[in-house]
Amino acid sequence: MHNKSFSEIVESLKSQGYKTSLVEIERYGDFCPEDVDWNDKDVPHLNIVHTKVEGIQTVISEKIMNSIYFQKLPYLGFKIPLIVNSYEYAKFNNIYYTTYGPFILVINSISELVSKNKTKNIVTIAIASKSFFKIFHPLIKKLLIKNNNLLMREDFPMRERRGVLRKNNHSFFSKSKTYSYSNSTDIYRANIFLEKGSDLPISINKEELINADNEQILGNKVGIYSFFINIDNYKNKKLWPTTCVHEGAPLNKNCIEKDLLLCPWHKRKNLPLIQIDSSNKIHIFKHVDYAIKEDENFIKIKYRNNPNYYDEKTHTFLEY
């Protein structure tokens, strides 16, 4: 079976009598092509992170996804339904297409590493229509650029966050060479891991923990061994992770709802690691991803650091 490339689709449309116009948007960012590929194929963030579009994903397989999107139109303000097909044509080369009245839109996102942790992403959009509808192409072009800028305002921080974590010795697991739409829906995997050499457990001084202020960071500055303190209404101090172990989202006190921390990217529910009550009694929570041990002066924290673990059927708490 042969999937069509972007240029093959455009040529096929031309042979059907369609007139086409191309728009090219080039962007650079401090992250890897893998991060764009992940973000392009990440199913659950669409309805959570994006404010101008929501969708019903009808077919989600490894490299193909079909969806019904409801897209808010720039300038006009109302939402229109769009049937969108998305697929991976080649490594770091993803294609989407849809129709909008008499217009066909074909979008191609290609990413390439230009230097360490720096990526060029080119989004090319073909607008195709027949006869006099071509006169509307400049207007559609304007709408598409505006829409793409709005989408990227929400996607770029996700990509850049992963770039920051990569700079701090973190990597991200993918079951296959490139990301898959279907794997992105399993939000209870811990896909982030520390590179060899920086994966040792860390210790936090108990005195420091007990005397920590609200929002104080403990452990490392960045990443899965970085934690923050939140003091609740009952004066209980809780230690929370600053990084979601699923795909690396930044976590802070604004993500806390009741006694849970809701990840801003995919709404995974996270538990605190430790609670210290008003009489300084330490309570340690059990986790699948973290193991915590208390000795006389220190709290020791170990991260599982093994994304393959989640391929096993049942998950158990990590023991120190």
110 binds, among Fe ion, ligand FES, none (CB under 5 to 8 A by kind): none
- Residue 269 CB, shortest distance to Fe ion, in Å, is 22
Which of these segments, 30-38, 97-105, 136-144, 155-163, binds Fe ion (CB under 5 A)? Answer: 155-163
CB of residue 57 vs ligand FES: minimum separation in angstroms? 16
How many residues touch Fe ion under the rule CB under 5 A: the total is 1
CB of 165 to ligand FES, least distance (A): 11
- 155 part of the interface to Fe ion, by CB under 5 A: yes
Q: Tokens in use for 196?
A: 């060899």
- Contact criterion met (CB below 8 Å) for 29 and 152: no
Write each residue from 260 to 299 as x if it is in contact with ligand FES (CB under 6 A), else as -, in one continuous string: ---x-xx-x-------------------------------
Partners of 268 in beta bridges: none
Total Cβ atoms within 10 A of residue 90? 11
CB 293: neighbour CB atoms within 10 A?
Answer: 14
> Looking at beta carbons only, is 54 or 294 nearer to ligand FES?
54
Q: Which is nearer to ligand FES, 23 or 49 (CB)?
A: 49
Binding flag, residue 238, ligand FES (CB under 6 A):
no
Q: At CA 17, angle to CA 15 and CA 21, rounded to 5?
A: 95
Task: Measure the CA angle with vertex 100, ends 95 and 101; round to 5°.
Answer: 145
Kindly give, in sequence order, each residue whose CB lies less than 8 Å from that of residue 237, ignoring residues fewer than 6 positions away: 209, 210, 212, 229, 230, 231, 275, 276
Rounded to 5°, the CA angle 101-19-99 comes to: 25
Q: Which is nearer to ligand FES, 162 or 302 (CB)?
A: 162
Closer CB to Fe ion, residue 158 or residue 194?
Answer: 158
Single out the residue of 60, 128, 244, 261 in contact with ligand FES (rule: CB under 6 A): 244
Query: Do the beta carbons of residue 260 and residue 268 sit within 8 Å?
Result: no
> What is the binding site for ligand FES (CB under 6 A)?
187, 244, 246-249, 263, 265-266, 268
